[in-house]
Amino acid sequence: MLRAEAVSGDAGLVSRLHAGGFRARVHSVFQRVVNLECATTGRLYTLACAGVDNAPSTLVLDARTFGNSGVRPGARVECDGRTLVSESALAVSLARAKPWVATLPEWPSGDMPVLWLRELIDRCGTRGGIKRGPAPEPPYEAHLTRRIGDATSSLKAALQAGELSAAYEHGTRLIGLGRGLTPAGDDYLVGLSTICSVPGSPVGRLRPVMARLVRDSADRTNDISHAAMAHAIEGRVRESIAELVDAMARDDDAGMQRWGEQVIGIGATSGTDILAGMLAGLELSEAERN
Amino acid sequence: MPIRTLVKKNTYVDSVSLMTVSSRANELVGVHQAFAAMGTPMNKEVLRDLSLLTEDLEQADTGDLMLVIDTADAERSDGALEELEALLEHKRPAAGPHEETTYKTFSSAVAANAEANLAVISVNGAYAAREARQALEAGLHVLLFSDNVAIEDELALKRLAHDKGLLMMGPDCGTAIINGVALCFANAVRRGNIALAGASGTGSQEVSVRIDALGGGISQLIGTGGRDLSEEVGGLMMLDAMRALEADPDTAVVVLVSKPPAASVEAAMIAEAARMEKPVVVCFLGRSDAAPAPPGVTFTHTTDAAARAATRLAGASGDRPQPPEPDLAIAEAARTRLHREQRYIRGLFCGGTLCDEAMYLALERHADVYSNIQKDPDRRLAAQAPSRAHTFLDLGDDDFTNGRPHPMIDPSTRIARLRQEAEDPEVAVIAMDFILGYGSHDDPVGAMLPAIADARERAAARGRHLEILGYVLGTERDRPRIGEQIDKLREAGVSIAESSTHLGLLARELVAEGSA
């Protein structure tokens, strides 16, 4: 049995688990992450290994890997308020779980560093999602890249023009589009939603259409990716993304570099795709302010 | 165009694995294109555009994984789909010994290698502490190759590692062998029951290859970084290494290797060594304290003696004779060819500890010994200063490597200095080390031979014989092999020392007459 200790976790989740009576089933198992599906609400929660950053609905453990732990999809999960247990494979003590709250900063009075973010993506971004892969690509990849490019530029143009119905349509064409577990289109929308959700954001008025887009898309992508989008539009994002936005708002060069690189490290191309969505949000904000 | 598809129900595979599998599948023989993607409506639309959407793919749900393979001919399609599935089953196909995967960030490397438990960090010193802290926080042991890390950061990192029960090797740690895996500059030595904990990289390498030559083997080689035994750091890593080696079931004997530690730190190390149940050999080069060793501890003052003591204590027998004393006939023969004014040694070293050892041995006989790493400030030379009397230069020291590669990789600094020394009519012998092993130059002797020939020709043109004394640090399992490198040196007329210690002894013997 893998015995672990929860180090930190989303404050809401920690509080819910401490209340006891939590029941779930294991939704999916990865090397460093296990997703749980709540038996009563159907919501997804995540158990993550050490080194994975805090995130909405996530509990970070001191464990190094779930590989060979015996935790299996479909297994029952229960929590009595002190220990979360999955059959005979996993026992997580909650005694020292430090509550964490995702907080986005206020929009700054000055500009956000659009140029820096564009350069970061150019310099360090991973190709294969929003950022084009090295040519020549196989026909499927080439067509996928073309469709992602068309949909993102059309969405951005429609949002800038204030054509919200068209934006909704173009956004729908992005959801579930891409190869990864969280498709590139979804990740891009996470980034864009993040910028829309920053308190005082010049593009805050776009939040309702983005929220509707996400709300209506539950059957267009997988549960895990949809949950990330649903959290982002509420301003609930991974710690590295929140810290990056905070560093950009404070014009903190070292913080921007540190957290920017951390975000790029998310998934395969997911981090870069999220940054591309954030860049689109910043560009729209800049256009809005001018 | 034969297309085979497979839908795996409710299958969630992380993005990194999914992308890797797709990329690998596209490289399979006879495959036009292959991909793995979630069964979302938009992904199915892309397939429809390309006339690849089959009936079963049409039925795929958003939580299902779609596998599609398009092969050159029908016969290949079944096999290719099986290979794609196999790739997926193994998620990240095991990298072969010569394959590399590049990650742009530390966190992505950690995420993709959940089974990794050690990080080797070699970045600009300004960022090194941050990366090392991140690795320790993620539960990884750290080998920090970078130098120019603030001492406060070193202390904080070592304390953090200690609290977490992890090894913090470095900063400025150039070598380690952990459970048989050589890291950074290390040699291909046989495995055995002798462990080294070293605050000096090339010193540890030297002891490890001597043990190998004497028939022993290495269980672990834990580098601590050059400043670990300073007053400020207090030997934090050395103490942790000693405790780890005491608990290591593969280790029977422990050897501590360092340049002279701070006095208080040395006392703490010896006290800890005396507490250990396993025998400990202490080789602190240049140590002048004549106090007797406590029970269970053996003091040695050369790397060669340390290797011999450890091999004896470990019960290993030599597989080829290793004379404890150098062949003094080499020195006698060379002396007969020298002019009266040729009185001095010039040591041009890649290895700092090898330089130290030769220098300390020279100091036992001569007073006028200068070096860029001399402790006596009156006899310390700046990098650009011309040599004086007996001069031993550590060309790997920061003064020489600032903005340049280490001489173990790039011989240009040593070539230039060799030319200068050859012009000096008072020089009798030039002593040089050639360090083999992982990370080193792929032909360190070959890279120096033209310069050696040129130096000797210049001296000969002025009617002088210039003695070149070489030592090759390595094993027959290193690439290139030690024997091959020694043969090249001998063919070029270079005299060969059998060890770092012998190099120092022979050099000082060569100038025994007529020197200051």
Whether residues B50 and A64 touch (CB distance < 8 A) is answered with no
Whether residues B12 and A181 touch (CB distance < 8 A) is answered with yes
Give me the pLDDT at residue B17, please: 75
Give residue A16's identity as a one-letter amino acid code.
Answer: R
To the nearest whole angstrom, how far is the Cα of A175 from the nearest Cα of chain B? 7
Give me the pLDDT at residue B109, please: 78
Query: What's the Rg (C-alpha) of chain A?
Result: 19
Q: What is the mean pLDDT of residues A30-50?
A: 91
Same domain, A19 and A122: no
Q: What is the mean pLDDT of residues A86-96?
A: 94
Residue B105 lies in a domain: no
Question: Is A137 at the interface with chain B, CB within 8 A?
Answer: no
Q: How far is CA B19 from the centre of its chain?
A: 34
Residue B499 lies in a domain: yes
Chain B residues whose beta carbon lies within 8 Å of the beta carbon of residue A223: 62-63
Residue B155 lies in a domain: yes
Residue A105 lies in a domain: no
Average pLDDT value over all residues in chain A: 92
Residue A107 lies in a domain: no
The CATH number of the domain holding residue B302 is: 3.40.50.261
Range of the domain at B139: 115-172
Whether residues B40 and A30 touch (CB distance < 8 A) is answered with no
Residue where one domain finishes, among candidates A73, A100, A127: A100
Residue A72 lies in a domain: yes
Give me the pLDDT at residue B104, please: 65
Give me the pLDDT at residue B281, please: 97
- Tally of structural domains, chain A: 2
Higher pLDDT, A252 or B98: A252
Same domain, A221 and A81: no
Same domain, B498 and B372: yes
Whether residues A64 and B114 touch (CB distance < 8 A) is answered with yes
Residue where one domain finishes, among candidates B298, B322, B346: B322
Residue A200 lies in a domain: yes
Residue B99 lies in a domain: no
Same domain, A238 and A155: yes
Same domain, A165 and A260: yes
Give me the pLDDT at residue B312, please: 93
Same domain, B503 and B448: yes
- Residue of B14, B20, B70, B91 best to disrupt the A interface, most CBs of A under 10 A: B14
CB A177 within 8 A of CB A144: yes
The CATH number of the domain holding residue A35 is: 2.40.50
Q: In whole angstroms, give the CA distance from residue B198 to residue B206.
A: 11
Residue B165 lies in a domain: yes
Selection from B139, B199, B138, B202 nearest residue B170 by Cα: B199
Give me the pLDDT at residue B35, please: 83
pLDDT (tens place) for every residue of chain B, 516 residues total: 678 888 988 888 877 777 777 777 777 777 888 888 889 999 999 999 988 899 999 999 988 889 888 887 877 777 888 888 877 776 533 333 334 566 767 777 777 777 789 999 988 777 889 889 999 998 999 999 988 899 999 999 999 999 999 999 999 999 999 988 899 999 999 889 999 999 999 999 999 999 999 989 999 999 999 999 999 999 999 999 999 999 999 999 999 999 889 999 999 999 999 999 999 999 999 877 678 899 999 999 999 999 999 999 998 765 456 677 898 899 999 999 999 999 999 999 999 999 999 999 999 999 999 999 998 999 999 988 999 999 999 999 878 876 667 888 888 889 989 999 999 999 999 999 999 998 888 889 998 999 999 999 999 999 999 999 999 999 998 989 999 999 999 999 999 999 999 999 999 999 985 443
Same domain, A84 and A197: no
Residue length of chain A: 290
Taking CA atoms, what residue in A is nearest to B126?
A254
Same domain, B67 and B168: no
The minimal CB distance from A221 to the residues B18, B19, B62 is found for: B62
Same domain, B223 and B168: no
Taking CA atoms, what residue in B is nearest to A138?
B33
Residue where one domain finishes, among candidates B302, B322, B342: B322
Same domain, B346 and B466: yes
Residue B96 lies in a domain: no
Same domain, A91 and A141: no
Same domain, A85 and A173: no
Q: How far is CA B347 from the centre of its chain?
A: 22
Whether residues B38 and A223 touch (CB distance < 8 A) is answered with no
Average pLDDT value over all residues in chain B: 89
Range from A33-42, A106-115, B325-334, B505-514 carrying the lowest mean pLDDT: B505-514
Give me the pLDDT at residue B516, please: 37
Instruction: Give residues 155 to 174 of A whose Cβ lies within 8 Å of B.
Output: 173-174
Higher pLDDT, B371 or A111: B371
Give me the pLDDT at residue B92, please: 39
Instruction: Give residues 248 to 287 of A whose Cβ lies within 8 Å of B.
Output: 258, 261-262, 264-271
The minimal CB distance from B37 to the residues A28, A175, A179 is found for: A179
Residue A108 lies in a domain: no
Residue B256 lies in a domain: yes
* ipTM associated with this complex: 0.87
Same domain, B341 and B402: yes
Residue B8 lies in a domain: yes
Interacting residues of B338 by C-beta distance below 8 A, sequence separation 6+:
B428, B464, B465, B467
Residue where one domain finishes, among candidates B55, B89, B123: B89
Same domain, B272 and B153: no
Same domain, B370 and B490: yes
End-to-end, the C-alpha distance of chain B in Å comes to 87
- Residue of B15, B46, B91, B123 best to disrupt the A interface, most CBs of A under 10 A: B15
Residue A109 lies in a domain: no
Same domain, B427 and B472: yes
Chain A residues whose beta carbon lies within 8 Å of the beta carbon of residue B18: 179-181, 268
Q: Which H/E stretch holds residue A168? A: helix A164-174
Same domain, B129 and B260: no
β-pair type (B191-198, B218-223) = parallel
The CATH number of the domain holding residue B165 is: 3.40.50.720
Taking CA atoms, what residue in B is nearest to A144?
B46
Same domain, A35 and A120: no
Whether residues A124 and B104 touch (CB distance < 8 A) is answered with yes
Same domain, B208 and B291: yes
- Contacts made by residues A230-233, CB under 8 angstroms, sequence distance 24+: A231/A56, A231/A57, A231/A102, A232/A189, A232/A190, A232/A191, A232/A193, A232/A194, A232/A197, A233/A193, A233/A196, A233/A197, A233/A207
- Residue of A49, A152, A179, A225 best to disrupt the B interface, most CBs of B under 10 A: A179
Range of the domain at A96: 2-100
Same domain, B24 and B61: yes
CB B335 within 8 A of CB B513: yes
Taking CA atoms, what residue in A is nearest to B46?
A144
Whether residues A65 and B107 touch (CB distance < 8 A) is answered with no
CB A191 within 8 A of CB A263: no
Residue A106 lies in a domain: no
Chain A residues whose beta carbon lies within 8 Å of the beta carbon of residue B63: 222-223
Same domain, A143 and A268: yes
Same domain, A175 and A75: no
- Angle between the N-to-C axes of helices A253-264 and A239-250, in degrees from 0 to 180, rounded to the nearest 10: 150
Query: How many CB pairs below 8 A link A and B?
Result: 148
Q: In whole angstroms, give the CA distance from residue B453 to residue B492.
A: 7
Whether residues A31 and B43 touch (CB distance < 8 A) is answered with no
Q: In whole angstroms, give the CA distance from residue B309 to residue B312.
A: 5
pTM of the predicted structure, to 2 decimals: 0.57
Give me the pLDDT at residue B93, please: 32
CB B342 within 8 A of CB B430: no
Residue where one domain finishes, among candidates A100, A126, A156: A100
Whether residues B14 and A33 touch (CB distance < 8 A) is answered with yes
- Tally of structural domains, chain B: 4
Tokens of A10: 């989303």
Same domain, A124 and A74: no
Same domain, A94 and A134: no
Give me the pLDDT at residue B171, please: 95
Give me the pLDDT at residue B319, please: 47
Q: How far is CA A223 from the centre of its chain?
A: 12
Residue A30 lies in a domain: yes
CB B338 within 8 A of CB B467: yes
Whether residues B43 and A183 touch (CB distance < 8 A) is answered with yes
